Structure 1
Amino acid sequence: MTRLIVAAGGGGDAVAAAMLDAALYGDDDQAVILTYAWDRLLVDPIPGPRGPADFTGLEPLTPSVWSVPAEARPIAPAGSTLPRLAAELPQTITLIDPHHGVDGVTRQLNQLIGLLEPSSIDLLDVGGDILARGDEPTLKSPLADALTLAACCQVTAPVRLLVAGPGLDGELPLDKVRSLLGPLVHAFTAEDAEPVSSVLEWHPSEATGMLAATARGVRGICEVRDAGLPIPLTDAGPTVHEVDLDDALNRNELARAILSTTTLDQVEAHSREVCGYSEIDYERNKAAWLKDQPTVKLDPGTVLPQLDEFENEARSRGVTHTTFRHLTEVLNLSGSQRDDLRRLLTNIRPQQHTAPLWKLSQ
């Protein structure tokens, strides 16, 4: 029997879906993961999510659903982590196309359900921003989660909503997310994190990286994002909870507003109305800014003193860990240099590499 897992926000949620599938079912028939190709500007210089037309080598499963094999490639200048995920994970990766709004994603889901006849359907969100109302000041990326939530509430089969790593995405405070959670489904362990450990060495997801780190027992404060947001790494980090799907929809004002949308432009317009912004607008503005930034050479003689200065300042704020994504931003490097930075630092100071995080020196 096939299982279907919808990665609510794409990217790191897809990696967490593979981690959950392995933890709950081991080597039994692998799940099909439905996810966005939306890797943000660290990987993809084009703002917003990619659709089927942005790839070569996709394989059609239904009239509107395509799988992403390892041989698929994004069409330049677009970038995507999905082909590499497909190469390194045993699960089947399929592509969410948000360009036809909630109507299109609902159609994709219904066609996939009809094809697979899955034994279970899970909607998985890391962090819990899928439970946001839409007006929270800390909310940064509600669009993808609201879209998948709205679609899953309209399919012809039961869907279980799961939140992993409550609070780890930094979108809603941990206490707020915790108060909205239902029964505990699973608590990840170090053994559970092992199947995705190699993926998280190169994948840019900060939330799922922290999810795996807390599963390995890492505790402290992790600084993330370009703004340096502090995320507590607590015993709640490796947990997975069920949440009532209808309750989530009733709470999520953006998801309710976009239920009948047929284009991504309509979804964006509602996001501006409900949340006051569209995260794709943010990407458009940042992409325009990045075009004018000079390329900084990755030179150990320059990087290491800058790293020491950052660590001294961060420790004064109580920070114990950070991500290589955040370090890339702090050191004014481009997203394409993140892997080179990780290799450089882990070779020079291997004792600080608390995979997949960077532990600040004491």
Structure 2
Amino acid sequence: MKRLLIAAGGGGDAIATAMVHAALHGPDEPALVLTYAWERLVVDPVPGPRRPSDFTGTVTAGPTLRLVTPRSAPRPPAGSLLPRLSADLRPALGLLDPYAGASGLARQIEEAAAYCEAGHVDVVDVGGDILADGTEPTLRSPLGDALVLAACARTGIPTSVHVAGPGLDSEVPEAALLPLLGDPLHTLTHADTLSVQAVFDWHPSEAGALLVAAARGIRGVCGTRDAPHPVTLGDASPHVYRLTLARALEINPLARALAESASLADAERASERVCGFSEIARERARAAQLAQEAGESPGGGTAPSEPRPLPRPLPERFAEWERRTADSGIAYVTTRRIAEELALSLAQLTALRRHLSTASPARHTPPLWRLAAVEA
């Protein structure tokens, strides 16, 4: 027998789900985490979620359910971090395929419940956009979470919905969420992070990193790459809250609108009606823009016959960026923000991390980095 959990938002939510499971039930309790292979374009250049046919080496666990293992691999040009994640997380990982809408997801959840011999489902969401009402100006990715709620309702299997780290995904503000959540079920601690701590040495999840940082006692203003405003880690940030499925459905109009969806196209149309946008359409537009930018010739600039200026030393570039970032009121940053804003290759990022850890060990507060202004 295994516990059955669902990482509602895909991406880094699988990490947080494993951490919440370990905190509530112990790290050695057997579990299966169902998750989307729906990742940022920096990881997967193909817009939208991946399905089983996008992978090699998955394991059949039911007529429509597939498990992702360390031997699985995405088929190019698709990309996915799930195979590597499956090697670093203790729970097994199952792939959610939303291309048949809530009805198809419901079948996969039922198959997973049978595979696990589980009579209950625990849904976990980092940040709280699973409780979005669709009008939030900062809302960016409501569809996956809402589909999970709709699918769980279709199964009839008793389901609990957990929100970890309210507001940490920068989609629904903490102040809007707290009145909906009631008293916390659990407060994550440093000990609860031990089962996932190594993952953030390579995984770009920012909401998950902030949740781990909060559990380790870090408080202050944190800068991430994908949010219009920085996130403040406060007293509620390490909390985990539990709601009934009925209450979550009552709050989330998109989930209710998805109840009869039988395809991902149906789900997109519902999102456009309720929220005013489709996040997959936004991904398609962004992917097309990136492809166009990659294909454009630079034009202008330094003539080939002229000597190119020597690149500035990486520590010097970082110091200038750090001063500018700290001046905006940010005390901590994610590794991903450093890497993307400085346009670092993996080798450059590794060299910079080594330099910072050696020159100023207190700078690294895993999985975040403390800016120099905080040390003074």
| TM-score normalised according to structure 2 size | 0.90
Closer/same/farther in 2, CA of residues 329 and 289 from structure 1, 3 Å limit: farther
Q: Distance in 1 between matches of 2:48 and 2:111?
A: 24
1:260 maps to 260
User: What letter matches 2:337 in structure 1?
Assistant: H
1:101 maps to 101
Q: Distance in 1 between matches of 2:325 and 2:144?
A: 31
SS at match of 1:42: coil
SS at match of 2:93: strand
1:197 maps to 197
Q: Distance in 2 between matches of 1:300 and 1:50?
A: 39
- CA displacement, residues 103-123 of structure 1 (integer Å, 9 cap, x when unaligned): 100111112213322154200
User: What letter matches 2:324 in structure 1?
Assistant: E
- Sequence identity percentage: 46
Q: Distance in 2 between matches of 1:342 and 1:119?
A: 45
**Offset at residue 242 of structure 1 (A):** 0.6
User: What letter matches 1:349 in structure 2?
Assistant: L
* Contact 2:126 2:169 survives alignment (8 Å): yes
User: What letter matches 2:82 in structure 1?
Assistant: L
Structure 1, unaligned runs of 5 or more: none
Structure 2, unaligned runs of 5 or more: 299-309
1:329 maps to 340
SS at match of 2:203: coil
1:315 aligns with 2:323: no
2:355 maps to 348
SS at match of 1:325: helix
Q: Distance in 1 between matches of 2:65 and 2:120?
A: 18
Q: Distance in 1 between matches of 2:313 and 2:37?
A: 34
1:361 aligns with 2:372: yes
SS at match of 2:29: coil
**Offset at residue 289 of structure 1 (A):** 2.1
Q: Distance in 1 between matches of 2:114 and 2:36?
A: 20
- CA displacement, residues 279-306 of structure 1 (integer Å, 9 cap, x when unaligned): 112211221222244699xx98354444
Q: Distance in 2 between matches of 1:306 and 1:134?
A: 40
**Offset at residue 226 of structure 1 (A):** 4.0
Query: Aligned pairs, how many?
Result: 356
User: What letter matches 1:14 in structure 2?
Assistant: A
SS at match of 2:232: strand
Q: Greater Rg, structure 1 or structure 2?
A: 2
Q: Distance in 2 between matches of 1:227 and 1:313?
A: 17
* Contact 1:165 1:238 survives alignment (8 Å): yes
SS at match of 1:63: coil
| TM-score normalised according to structure 1 size | 0.93
Q: Distance in 2 between matches of 1:262 and 1:4?
A: 23
Q: Distance in 2 between matches of 1:159 and 1:260?
A: 19
C-alpha RMSD of matched pairs (Å):
2.0
SS at match of 2:180: coil
* Contact 2:131 2:252 survives alignment (8 Å): yes
Superposed counterparts of 1:263-278, under 5 Å: 263-278=263-278
Superposed counterparts of 1:178-197, under 5 Å: 178-197=178-197
Q: Distance in 2 between matches of 1:340 and 1:261?
A: 45
Moved more, 307-316 or 190-199: 307-316
2:77 maps to 77
* Contact 1:134 1:275 survives alignment (8 Å): yes
